[in-house]
Amino acid sequence: MSSSDAAGDDEVVHDFAPLIVVYRSGRLERPLATPPVPPGTDAATGVVSRDVRLSASSFVRLYLPPPCAAAAGGGGGGERLPVVVYFHGGGFVIGSAASPAYHRCLNDLAAACPAVAVSVDYRLAPEHPLPAAYEDSAAALSWVLSAAEPWLAAHGDLSRVFLAGDSAGGNICHHLAMHHDLASRRLKGIVLIHPWFWGREPIGGEEAAAGEQKGLWEFVCPDAADGADDPRMNPTAAGAPGLENLACEKVMVCVAEGDTLRWRGRAYAEAAARARGGEASAVAELLESEGVGHVFYLFEPAHEKADELLRRIAAFISAK
Protein backbone atom coordinates (compact mmCIF):
# COMPACT_ATOMS: atom_id res chain seq x y z
CA MET A 1 0.00 0.00 0.00
CA SER A 2 1.37 3.41 -0.93
CA SER A 3 1.75 6.19 1.60
CA SER A 4 -1.03 8.09 -0.17
CA ASP A 5 -3.37 5.09 0.16
CA ALA A 6 -2.52 4.80 3.83
CA ALA A 7 -3.17 8.49 4.32
CA GLY A 8 -6.50 8.08 2.55
CA ASP A 9 -7.48 5.29 4.92
CA ASP A 10 -6.90 7.69 7.81
CA GLU A 11 -9.24 10.28 6.31
CA VAL A 12 -12.21 11.05 8.57
CA VAL A 13 -15.51 10.55 6.75
CA HIS A 14 -17.85 11.08 9.72
CA ASP A 15 -16.88 13.09 12.79
CA PHE A 16 -19.37 13.01 15.63
CA ALA A 17 -16.75 13.30 18.37
CA PRO A 18 -16.74 12.65 21.23
CA LEU A 19 -19.33 9.96 20.45
CA ILE A 20 -17.85 8.36 17.34
CA VAL A 21 -15.34 9.06 14.55
CA VAL A 22 -15.46 7.03 11.32
CA TYR A 23 -12.45 6.70 8.98
CA ARG A 24 -12.45 5.86 5.29
CA SER A 25 -10.81 2.51 6.08
CA GLY A 26 -13.87 1.59 8.15
CA ARG A 27 -12.04 2.02 11.44
CA LEU A 28 -14.22 3.37 14.24
CA GLU A 29 -13.19 5.34 17.30
CA ARG A 30 -15.51 5.86 20.26
CA PRO A 31 -13.58 8.33 22.48
CA LEU A 32 -16.00 8.12 25.41
CA ALA A 33 -16.16 4.32 25.52
CA THR A 34 -15.22 2.82 28.88
CA PRO A 35 -14.39 -0.78 29.86
CA PRO A 36 -17.39 -2.71 31.21
CA VAL A 37 -17.81 -3.41 34.91
CA PRO A 38 -19.25 -6.68 36.22
CA PRO A 39 -22.51 -7.04 38.15
CA GLY A 40 -22.48 -7.90 41.83
CA THR A 41 -23.28 -6.35 45.20
CA ASP A 42 -22.90 -2.57 45.39
CA ALA A 43 -21.14 -1.62 48.61
CA ALA A 44 -22.69 1.87 48.73
CA THR A 45 -26.36 0.89 48.32
CA GLY A 46 -26.59 -2.84 49.02
CA VAL A 47 -28.20 -3.35 45.62
CA VAL A 48 -27.47 -6.72 44.01
CA SER A 49 -27.19 -7.05 40.23
CA ARG A 50 -26.75 -9.82 37.69
CA ASP A 51 -26.77 -10.18 33.91
CA VAL A 52 -29.21 -12.17 31.79
CA ARG A 53 -28.44 -12.75 28.12
CA LEU A 54 -31.51 -12.40 25.90
CA SER A 55 -29.84 -13.12 22.55
CA ALA A 56 -26.44 -13.37 20.93
CA SER A 57 -26.35 -9.58 20.64
CA SER A 58 -28.19 -8.23 23.67
CA PHE A 59 -28.48 -8.66 27.43
CA VAL A 60 -30.07 -6.99 30.44
CA ARG A 61 -28.62 -6.21 33.85
CA LEU A 62 -31.09 -6.70 36.69
CA TYR A 63 -30.90 -4.77 39.95
CA LEU A 64 -32.56 -5.85 43.18
CA PRO A 65 -32.54 -3.42 46.13
CA PRO A 66 -32.43 -4.35 49.80
CA PRO A 67 -34.36 -5.85 51.54
CA CYS A 68 -35.52 -7.72 48.41
CA ALA A 69 -31.93 -8.75 47.74
CA ALA A 70 -31.78 -10.41 51.15
CA ALA A 71 -35.15 -12.09 50.57
CA ALA A 72 -33.95 -13.39 47.19
CA GLY A 73 -30.83 -14.83 48.81
CA GLY A 74 -32.98 -16.68 51.29
CA GLY A 75 -35.56 -17.74 48.76
CA GLY A 76 -38.28 -15.49 50.22
CA GLY A 77 -40.78 -13.30 48.44
CA GLY A 78 -41.12 -9.98 50.28
CA GLU A 79 -42.66 -6.74 49.08
CA ARG A 80 -43.43 -6.29 45.39
CA LEU A 81 -41.79 -3.22 43.93
CA PRO A 82 -42.26 -1.13 40.79
CA VAL A 83 -40.22 -2.26 37.80
CA VAL A 84 -38.06 0.30 35.98
CA VAL A 85 -36.80 -0.68 32.53
CA TYR A 86 -33.89 1.64 31.70
CA PHE A 87 -32.39 2.39 28.27
CA HIS A 88 -28.95 4.02 28.13
CA GLY A 89 -28.09 6.96 25.92
CA GLY A 90 -25.19 7.63 23.58
CA GLY A 91 -26.69 8.72 20.27
CA PHE A 92 -27.33 5.07 19.35
CA VAL A 93 -23.57 4.71 18.69
CA ILE A 94 -22.05 4.33 22.16
CA GLY A 95 -22.94 3.12 25.63
CA SER A 96 -23.68 -0.12 27.44
CA ALA A 97 -25.69 -1.40 30.36
CA ALA A 98 -22.31 -2.53 31.74
CA SER A 99 -20.59 0.86 31.55
CA PRO A 100 -19.39 2.23 34.92
CA ALA A 101 -21.56 5.36 34.76
CA TYR A 102 -24.79 3.49 34.02
CA HIS A 103 -24.01 0.73 36.52
CA ARG A 104 -23.60 3.33 39.26
CA CYS A 105 -26.72 5.19 38.10
CA LEU A 106 -28.90 2.07 38.16
CA ASN A 107 -27.62 1.03 41.60
CA ASP A 108 -28.56 4.47 42.91
CA LEU A 109 -31.95 4.49 41.15
CA ALA A 110 -32.95 1.00 42.31
CA ALA A 111 -32.09 1.92 45.90
CA ALA A 112 -33.74 5.34 45.84
CA CYS A 113 -37.16 4.26 44.53
CA PRO A 114 -36.87 1.39 45.65
CA ALA A 115 -37.55 -0.62 42.50
CA VAL A 116 -36.50 -3.67 40.58
CA ALA A 117 -34.49 -2.18 37.72
CA VAL A 118 -33.69 -3.70 34.35
CA SER A 119 -30.95 -1.98 32.34
CA VAL A 120 -31.11 -2.88 28.66
CA ASP A 121 -28.09 -3.37 26.41
CA TYR A 122 -28.86 -3.03 22.70
CA ARG A 123 -27.03 -3.13 19.38
CA LEU A 124 -25.30 0.07 18.25
CA ALA A 125 -24.90 1.89 14.94
CA PRO A 126 -23.20 2.02 12.52
CA GLU A 127 -22.56 -1.72 12.77
CA HIS A 128 -26.29 -2.14 13.43
CA PRO A 129 -28.27 0.89 12.18
CA LEU A 130 -31.74 1.64 13.47
CA PRO A 131 -34.18 0.00 13.89
CA ALA A 132 -31.84 -2.56 15.57
CA ALA A 133 -31.80 -0.67 18.90
CA TYR A 134 -35.59 -0.33 18.85
CA GLU A 135 -35.97 -4.05 18.09
CA ASP A 136 -33.64 -5.15 20.88
CA SER A 137 -35.36 -2.79 23.32
CA ALA A 138 -38.83 -4.04 22.36
CA ALA A 139 -37.68 -7.63 22.81
CA ALA A 140 -36.29 -6.77 26.26
CA LEU A 141 -39.55 -5.11 27.29
CA SER A 142 -41.55 -8.13 26.13
CA TRP A 143 -39.24 -10.33 28.19
CA VAL A 144 -39.79 -8.16 31.27
CA LEU A 145 -43.57 -8.21 30.85
CA SER A 146 -43.53 -12.00 30.53
CA ALA A 147 -42.24 -12.21 34.16
CA ALA A 148 -40.30 -15.33 33.22
CA GLU A 149 -37.26 -14.24 35.23
CA PRO A 150 -37.31 -15.32 38.93
CA TRP A 151 -36.36 -11.92 40.39
CA LEU A 152 -39.08 -10.19 38.39
CA ALA A 153 -41.64 -12.88 39.18
CA ALA A 154 -40.93 -12.82 42.92
CA HIS A 155 -40.31 -9.10 43.54
CA GLY A 156 -41.66 -7.06 40.62
CA ASP A 157 -45.13 -5.49 40.48
CA LEU A 158 -45.99 -5.72 36.80
CA SER A 159 -48.92 -3.35 37.26
CA ARG A 160 -46.28 -0.66 37.92
CA VAL A 161 -43.83 -0.89 35.00
CA PHE A 162 -41.97 2.29 34.09
CA LEU A 163 -39.72 2.98 31.11
CA ALA A 164 -36.84 5.38 31.73
CA GLY A 165 -33.88 6.48 29.68
CA ASP A 166 -31.56 9.35 28.83
CA SER A 167 -30.83 10.98 25.49
CA ALA A 168 -31.18 8.23 22.85
CA GLY A 169 -32.61 6.06 25.64
CA GLY A 170 -35.36 8.63 26.18
CA ASN A 171 -36.09 8.43 22.47
CA ILE A 172 -36.40 4.63 22.85
CA CYS A 173 -38.85 5.07 25.75
CA HIS A 174 -41.11 7.21 23.59
CA HIS A 175 -40.86 4.79 20.69
CA LEU A 176 -41.84 1.79 22.82
CA ALA A 177 -44.67 3.58 24.59
CA MET A 178 -46.08 4.55 21.18
CA HIS A 179 -45.43 1.42 19.16
CA HIS A 180 -45.02 -1.58 21.44
CA ASP A 181 -48.07 -3.82 21.73
CA LEU A 182 -49.15 -2.89 25.23
CA ALA A 183 -52.90 -3.18 24.71
CA SER A 184 -53.24 -5.84 27.40
CA ARG A 185 -50.81 -4.27 29.89
CA ARG A 186 -50.55 -0.49 30.06
CA LEU A 187 -47.33 1.03 31.37
CA LYS A 188 -47.52 2.97 34.60
CA GLY A 189 -45.29 5.74 33.29
CA ILE A 190 -42.32 6.90 31.24
CA VAL A 191 -39.38 9.05 32.36
CA LEU A 192 -37.55 10.84 29.55
CA ILE A 193 -34.23 12.29 30.76
CA HIS A 194 -32.75 14.86 28.35
CA PRO A 195 -34.42 12.96 25.47
CA TRP A 196 -32.88 13.09 22.00
CA PHE A 197 -35.53 14.61 19.78
CA TRP A 198 -34.90 16.99 16.91
CA GLY A 199 -36.64 18.43 13.86
CA ARG A 200 -36.02 19.90 10.45
CA GLU A 201 -36.89 23.42 11.57
CA PRO A 202 -34.92 24.65 14.62
CA ILE A 203 -36.81 25.84 17.68
CA GLY A 204 -35.50 27.92 20.58
CA GLY A 205 -31.71 28.10 20.42
CA GLU A 206 -31.16 24.96 18.32
CA GLU A 207 -29.76 26.68 15.22
CA ALA A 208 -26.08 26.34 16.20
CA ALA A 209 -26.32 22.54 16.57
CA ALA A 210 -28.79 21.85 13.76
CA GLY A 211 -26.32 20.36 11.28
CA GLU A 212 -24.58 18.11 13.80
CA GLN A 213 -27.81 16.69 15.25
CA LYS A 214 -29.41 16.12 11.85
CA GLY A 215 -26.22 14.50 10.56
CA LEU A 216 -25.93 12.09 13.47
CA TRP A 217 -29.59 11.07 13.19
CA GLU A 218 -29.30 10.33 9.47
CA PHE A 219 -26.05 8.43 10.15
CA VAL A 220 -27.66 6.08 12.68
CA CYS A 221 -30.96 5.84 10.79
CA PRO A 222 -30.16 5.79 7.05
CA ASP A 223 -33.80 5.07 6.12
CA ALA A 224 -35.13 8.08 8.05
CA ALA A 225 -38.24 9.41 6.36
CA ASP A 226 -38.09 13.18 5.89
CA GLY A 227 -34.74 13.44 7.67
CA ALA A 228 -34.95 14.94 11.15
CA ASP A 229 -38.74 15.17 10.85
CA ASP A 230 -38.99 11.38 10.87
CA PRO A 231 -41.56 10.71 13.65
CA ARG A 232 -38.97 8.61 15.49
CA MET A 233 -36.82 11.74 15.88
CA ASN A 234 -39.53 14.40 15.90
CA PRO A 235 -42.61 13.10 17.73
CA THR A 236 -44.36 16.46 17.34
CA ALA A 237 -43.83 16.73 13.56
CA ALA A 238 -46.85 17.20 11.31
CA GLY A 239 -48.17 13.74 10.53
CA ALA A 240 -46.48 12.06 13.51
CA PRO A 241 -48.77 9.80 15.58
CA GLY A 242 -50.47 11.80 18.33
CA LEU A 243 -49.16 11.58 21.88
CA GLU A 244 -52.62 10.61 23.08
CA ASN A 245 -51.52 7.15 21.91
CA LEU A 246 -48.83 6.88 24.60
CA ALA A 247 -49.54 3.61 26.41
CA CYS A 248 -48.85 4.94 29.89
CA GLU A 249 -50.68 6.61 32.73
CA LYS A 250 -48.20 9.42 33.36
CA VAL A 251 -45.17 11.14 31.85
CA MET A 252 -42.10 12.80 33.33
CA VAL A 253 -39.67 14.81 31.21
CA CYS A 254 -36.33 16.04 32.58
CA VAL A 255 -34.35 18.76 30.80
CA ALA A 256 -31.15 20.66 31.62
CA GLU A 257 -30.65 24.40 31.27
CA GLY A 258 -27.34 23.99 29.44
CA ASP A 259 -28.52 21.26 27.05
CA THR A 260 -29.18 21.90 23.35
CA LEU A 261 -32.00 19.35 23.56
CA ARG A 262 -33.95 21.21 26.24
CA TRP A 263 -36.31 22.98 23.85
CA ARG A 264 -37.49 19.69 22.36
CA GLY A 265 -37.92 18.21 25.82
CA ARG A 266 -40.15 21.08 26.89
CA ALA A 267 -42.11 20.87 23.63
CA TYR A 268 -42.66 17.15 24.19
CA ALA A 269 -44.01 17.71 27.72
CA GLU A 270 -46.33 20.44 26.47
CA ALA A 271 -47.54 18.29 23.55
CA ALA A 272 -48.18 15.34 25.87
CA ALA A 273 -50.25 17.59 28.12
CA ARG A 274 -52.30 18.96 25.22
CA ALA A 275 -52.88 15.46 23.85
CA ARG A 276 -54.21 14.37 27.23
CA GLY A 277 -56.42 17.43 27.61
CA GLY A 278 -54.78 19.13 30.56
CA GLU A 279 -52.06 21.39 31.87
CA ALA A 280 -48.49 20.13 31.63
CA SER A 281 -48.10 20.11 35.42
CA ALA A 282 -51.16 17.88 35.77
CA VAL A 283 -50.41 15.16 33.24
CA ALA A 284 -46.74 15.57 32.25
CA GLU A 285 -44.28 16.44 34.99
CA LEU A 286 -41.41 18.63 33.80
CA LEU A 287 -38.16 19.03 35.73
CA GLU A 288 -35.56 21.52 34.54
CA SER A 289 -32.12 21.32 36.17
CA GLU A 290 -30.52 24.77 36.25
CA GLY A 291 -26.87 25.46 35.54
CA VAL A 292 -25.99 21.98 34.21
CA GLY A 293 -25.70 20.30 30.82
CA HIS A 294 -26.65 17.16 28.95
CA VAL A 295 -26.69 13.98 31.11
CA PHE A 296 -24.62 15.80 33.73
CA TYR A 297 -25.71 13.34 36.42
CA LEU A 298 -23.77 10.51 34.78
CA PHE A 299 -20.51 12.45 35.00
CA GLU A 300 -21.16 14.33 38.26
CA PRO A 301 -23.23 12.00 40.44
CA ALA A 302 -22.33 13.95 43.60
CA HIS A 303 -23.68 17.24 42.17
CA GLU A 304 -26.61 18.66 44.15
CA LYS A 305 -28.66 18.80 40.96
CA ALA A 306 -27.94 15.10 40.36
CA ASP A 307 -29.29 14.36 43.83
CA GLU A 308 -32.40 16.45 43.10
CA LEU A 309 -32.92 14.64 39.79
CA LEU A 310 -32.63 11.24 41.45
CA ARG A 311 -35.05 12.19 44.24
CA ARG A 312 -37.64 13.59 41.82
CA ILE A 313 -37.51 10.54 39.57
CA ALA A 314 -37.74 8.21 42.58
CA ALA A 315 -40.77 10.13 43.88
CA PHE A 316 -42.46 9.92 40.46
CA ILE A 317 -41.90 6.16 40.34
CA SER A 318 -42.83 5.39 43.94
CA ALA A 319 -46.02 7.49 43.97
CA LYS A 320 -49.13 5.30 43.95
Active-site residue numbers?
167
CA distances from 17 to 28, 79, 91, 172, 206 (A): 11, 45, 11, 22, 19
Q: Give yes or no for a contact between 86 and 162, defined as CB atoms under 8 angstroms apart.
A: no
Q: In whole angstroms, what is the distance from residue 245 CA to residue 102 CA?
A: 30
Strand order in the sheet with 28-29: 12-16, 20-23, 28-29
Q: In whole angstroms, what is the distance from residue 231 CA to residue 223 CA?
A: 12
Q: In whole angstroms, what is the distance from residue 227 CA to residue 154 CA?
A: 44
Q: Give yes or no for a contact between 84 and 317, defined as CB atoms under 8 angstroms apart.
A: yes
Q: Which residues neighbour 163 within 8 Å (Cβ) at sequence distance 6 or greater?
A: 84, 85, 87, 141, 172, 173, 176, 177, 187, 189, 190, 191, 248
Q: Which residues neighbour 146 within 8 Å (Cβ) at sequence distance 6 or greater?
A: none
Q: How many residues does the chain have?
A: 320
Angle between helices 304-318 and 100-112 (to 10 degrees): 50
